[in-house]
Chain A
Amino acid sequence: MTEQYLSGNFGGDMMAEDLFGLYQDLSQRKIWLAFKGAISQDILVELGTLLKSKSVLDRKVKRLFAIFVEMAQNILHYSAETETVPFSGNGTAQPVGVGVIVVSESADDYLVSAGNVVTDKQMTYLREQCERIHRADPGQLKQYYEDQRKAGRSMSDSKGAGLGLLDIARKADFPLEYEMRPIPDGRAFFVLTARIAKFNKQFT
């Protein structure tokens, strides 16, 4: 009876060989975790717990965790692609943002990359925010962060992707990398990458 499962027609499904390729790829790139799908709060918490357990929770890994949470919550709240996840969060079915998030390491850095579909309007907003962040020095970033936090503290919607971006930029050791890739339906795929140096730079 089991044979029909083993030798069945996989059609467009991922074949064993592809899966081995994916496995090798994930191993070689030192991927700590990779997730594609609806990032509900429950998923976020589980992935975050996994991330914390991957390494001694030192200052660097704690920042990595913080960046992961901000990126994942931005997908959850703002992705233009959503799925309705039953019994998420407060117990009722609700739309949850879909995206992809990858945490990995290179020889010198820890990396968090997140990608999701954004609307035209979001694209303009994100581009402005990212450019403003790019031009800012650490002192200005701190000022932007404090201004935005103050501005948003009494709003009924306490989310605010802007504050998350500023926080990510302040926690990262290098300028944020971002990319907007147009997709056929007129929207875009937004990718954001933050890097944290594994070792403290000593002579800079």
Chain B
Amino acid sequence: MDNKGVCMDNLVLEATKITPKVHFDATSGVLEIAGDSYPEHSLQFYEQVFTWLDDFIGQTTLPITFHFRLFYFNTSSSKCILNILERLDEAYRRGRQVSLYWHYREDDEDIRESGEEFAEDLSLAFQFVKH
């Protein structure tokens, strides 16, 4: 295997009513979380996301393109999203190339604002994409 670590499996979780779609492509470095997130135990759901991301950051050098396409998330999911963002931010500060896209619907300024609040404490620049 080469040093880009393409031996890693993708992480693919289909959306449910209460958990988002997760499509993490280890070959392209394009990672996406989309949909609604309000599971009963957020950490139980996001643990696998953290683990995959840690492995991907630690074992590969590929640039990361991360898309958040969230429609609704509850407060406990919000803690997990912060956790993901901090991992990306740390990788970025250590020299990893990271592009972060925060998608929101034109009529949903609340989602944009929640992205702006996450961005305040991070060095990583958010690119806001209106749909």
Contacts and interface: CB of A to CB of B under 8 A. Distances in A.
Given A142-B117, A153-B83, A59 B75 contact: no
Interface residues of B, number: 26
Contacts of A73: 38, 40, 74, 76
A158 B80 CA distance: 8
A150 interface: yes
A22 to B, nearest CB: 30
Contact of A163 (B17, B39, B44, B75): B75
A154 B83 contact: yes
B109 interface: yes
B80 A59 contact: no
Nearest to A52: B72
B42 interface: yes
B2 interface: no
A49 B38 CA distance: 13
Interface in A146-174: 146, 149-150, 152-154, 156-160, 163-164, 166-167
A129 interface: no
Interface stretch (A60-68, A114-122, A185-193, A194-202): A60-68
Contacts of A89: 40-41
A109 interface: no
Contacts of B86: 153
Interface residues of A, number: 31
B43 A160 contact: no
A158 B108 contact: no
Given A73-B40, A89-B40, A45 B75 contact: no
Interface in B52-72: 72
Interface string A124-139: 0000000000000000
A159 B109 contact: no
A105 interface: no
Contact of A58 (B40, B78, B107, B121): B107
Nearest to A40: B40
Contacts of B38: 69, 73
B110 interface: yes
Contacts of A167: 75, 78
Interface of B: 17-18, 38-44, 72, 74-76, 78-80, 82-83, 86, 107-110, 117, 120-121
Nearest 8 pairs of A and B residues by beta carbon: A158-B43, A41-B40, A163-B75, A153-B79, A167-B75, A158-B76, A158-B42, A153-B82
Interface of A: 41, 45, 49, 58-59, 62-63, 65-66, 69-70, 73, 76, 89-90, 142, 146, 149-150, 152-154, 156-160, 163-164, 166-167
Given A73-B76, A153-B83, A157-B43, 8 more contacts: A66-B74, A69-B74, A73-B40, A149-B75, A149-B82, A158-B43, A158-B80, A167-B75
